[in-house]
Amino acid sequence: MDRTRAAAHGRDEIHRLEAVTMSRLPSPHASQALQTVRRQSLDYT
């Protein structure tokens, strides 16, 4: 799992990337899948 955090222009963003091994994917030759989660909060001052 990889996590990146950045703050700029009044936004605080967290990006997470996770690779998982799966046995049943829609693509016949794929064995891994990636999940990306992005959270964003606005900081109004």
Is the pTM higher than 0.85? The answer reads no
pLDDT at position 44 is 65
Q: How many CB atoms lie within 10 A of CB 32?
A: 9
Q: How many CB atoms lie within 10 A of CB 6?
A: 9
Domain range list for the chain: 2-42
Tens of pLDDT along 1-45? 778 888 877 788 888 888 888 777 777 788 888 888 888 887 765
